[in-house]
Structure 1
Amino acid sequence: MTSSPTASLPRRVVVTGATGKLGRAVVAHLRDLGLDVLAVDRAGGRDPRQVEGEFMLVDLTDYGQVVEALSGSVDEHDGPADAVVHLAAIPQPGLHSNAVTFANNSAATYNVFAAARALGIRKVVWASSETVLGLPFDSPPPYAPVDEEYAARPESTYSLNKALEEEMARHFCRWDPELVAVGLRFSNVMEVEDYAQFPSFDADPQARRWNLWGYIDARDGAQAVERSLAHDLPGADVFVIANADTVMCRSSASLMAEVYPGVEVRRELGEHETLLCIDKARRVLGYEPRHSWRDHV
């Protein structure tokens, strides 16, 4: 059943990266809430027919195109944005050269932040990444569950850019004290059809150690975006966003003991408790995962 948007949510939202796994879920979820959503992705990217409703092809590395999209000044697209959800990026290391990945992702995020500032849009939610926590954890994490309390540890060009985006957001908020900028450090995004492979992960605990056996159901990722759009505390903040459990059938404690025996585990762990700590997102945003792969296998 479709519900009406609450007073705390913006009326019109631009969502970039709208045809990706997470983007599709976010667009559908926000529209189900009754929000007016302009879905945006890049020319030459995924098929726009994957996203129903209002859609526009935008090259986010072109500042002028970003301004037009956010300002509502493109023919047949109505009205300026009240908020922007920036999910677009080259999504992982190795798809392009390091220089291409950095040039694309840094320019796209800068242009979104700068255009929002120029247009007086004071709510920006963007996809940071679990990778800033130190993935692929070839060097063990400082402790577990990992959280937002230690400094970013980028280990790739992709991750370096995400760490710089977080710093960029802090300065945009310093320049505009009314800006609310929320960075979501999403874990590995999964859809229901991905879950059939999960039971096979138990055969080799090393295979998924690179992100401490974490994941995020796309629907719960969309919920985190909704909660972030309702967040009204000015300033820049970042949150780890993962599901409440791991991808494994084995216990979280046994995984840490076998794979990272020298790493401090800072609390008694629930049987399958995520090792990507979501306590801050729960406390500040009211985020609570509603889905698990275990419900589908």
Structure 2
Amino acid sequence: MRIVVTGGSGKLGRSVVRRLRDDGHTVTNLDRTGHRGPGFTEVDLRNYGHVVDVFLGLEDRPSGFDAVVHLAAIPAPGLAPDAVTFENNMLATYNVFQAARRAGIKTIVYASSETVLGLPFDVDPPYIPVDEEYPARPESTYSLVKHLEEQMAIQLTRWDPELSITGLRFSNVTDPDDYEDFPSFDSDATLRKWNLWGYIDGRDGAQAVALALQHAKPGFEAFIIANADTVMGRSSTSLAAEVFPDVKVVKDLGEHETMLSIDKARRMLGFAPEHSWRSYHPLRTTPTED
């Protein structure tokens, strides 16, 4: 396919662009910064005219695009004033969705967020593992925008029965270099309780994007995308019992099983994470000898 990726120069975006190109797709990266090589186009997504112009075709890519992967955003709370985060992220997503519709593009995959689940869980989650079945609980302006984006996608796919929009609720995106810090989390179970000790390796995030494009169907679907394990050496059962003693655990958890349920993504997309941090930091189970 001919795919446009917004934010393809970002942490997740780099993995997504690489994966889609390796899969044989032609990829255009829309971003304000990044490597200005083949396939890069500088675009301010807050300018609707720029976005729709690109989506209708560029001079060297006049035939337009088959699908959009929208990743560009201020990526977390606190990186900018709240009003700036709201204006930038909400406007950019509206412009991308609407420009895609005007250009006749019927497949959109975009980065929603684990934050809509209630992060940082200062209020207990309704149950563990959390999943896509309970209503959104945004606790920040950043998360509020992600919730509103999902609501917008629901309405746009209602307006256009042929349109497919998939929201991937990515967990905390990590690269192998980040795994150096993971063993230190075991010293305090509350250090990473804010997202139930979850993470997503960027390469597995890219896998989810590729699968979402492959399995796109008309309508809107949201999926939690996390790795199959936690960031912790301790068992998931003991973590839940210590930090969330009043929360019901609704399934038997594997030793290090994620508490951000990926069952829906496994079932509907065939999502199967391949890159665990434990491959880079094997847990020592027996004492070493001098």
Q: Indicate whether 1:18 and 2:8 are aligned.
A: yes
Q: Deviations over 1:254-291 (max 9, x none)?
A: 00000000000001100000000000000011111011
- Matched residue, 1:239: 223
Query: What secondary structure does 1:128 align onto?
Result: strand
Contact 2:113 2:170 in 1 (8 A): yes
Q: Indicate whether 1:216 and 2:206 are aligned.
A: no
- Matched residue, 1:31: 21
Equivalent residue for 2:114, pick from 120, 130, 151: 130
For residues 212 and 261 of structure 2, the distance between their equivalents in structure 1, rounded to whole angstroms, comes to 17
- Matched residue, 1:7: none
- Matched residue, 1:69: 54
Runs of 4+ in 1 over 4 A off after TM superposition: none
Contact 2:230 2:258 in 1 (8 A): yes
Q: Deviations over 1:195-251 (max 9, x none)?
A: 011000000110100000000000000000000001132100100000000000000
Structure 1 residue 52: Cα displacement: 5.2
Q: Indicate whether 1:284 and 2:285 are aligned.
A: no
Equivalent residue for 1:140, pick from 124, 130, 134: 124
- The letter for the 1-side match of 2:241 is A
Structure 1 residue 71: Cα displacement: 1.5
Equivalent residue for 2:31, pick from 35, 38, 41: 41
Q: Indicate whether 1:251 and 2:235 are aligned.
A: yes
- Matched residue, 1:181: 165
- Matched residue, 2:91: 107
Query: What secondary structure does 2:134 align onto?
Result: coil
For residues 50 and 280 of structure 2, the distance between their equivalents in structure 1, rounded to whole angstroms, comes to 41
Percent identity, aligned pairs only?
A: 63
For residues 29 and 287 of structure 1, the distance between their equivalents in structure 2, rounded to whole angstroms, comes to 15
Q: Normalising by the residue count of structure 2, what TM-score does the alignment of the two structures yield?
A: 0.95
For residues 82 and 33 of structure 1, the distance between their equivalents in structure 2, rounded to whole angstroms, comes to 15
Matches within 5 A, 1:65-104: 65-72=50-57, 74-104=58-88
- The letter for the 1-side match of 2:51 is V
For residues 2 and 20 of structure 2, the distance between their equivalents in structure 1, rounded to whole angstroms, comes to 10
- The letter for the 2-side match of 1:236 is F
Structure 1 residue 69: Cα displacement: 1.8
Structure 1 residue 86: Cα displacement: 0.1
Aligned residues: CA RMSD: 1.0
Contact 2:226 2:262 in 1 (8 A): yes
Q: Deviations over 1:89-108 (max 9, x none)?
A: 00011111111100000000
For residues 197 and 97 of structure 1, the distance between their equivalents in structure 2, rounded to whole angstroms, comes to 28
For residues 217 and 75 of structure 2, the distance between their equivalents in structure 1, rounded to whole angstroms, comes to 28
- Matched residue, 1:8: none
For residues 134 and 144 of structure 1, the distance between their equivalents in structure 2, rounded to whole angstroms, comes to 12
> Closer, same or farther in 2 for the Cα pair 1:288/1:176, shift >3 Å?
same
Structure 1 residue 40: Cα displacement: 1.0
For residues 273 and 188 of structure 2, the distance between their equivalents in structure 1, rounded to whole angstroms, comes to 26
Equivalent residue for 1:193, pick from 160, 170, 177: 177
Count of residues paired in the alignment: 281
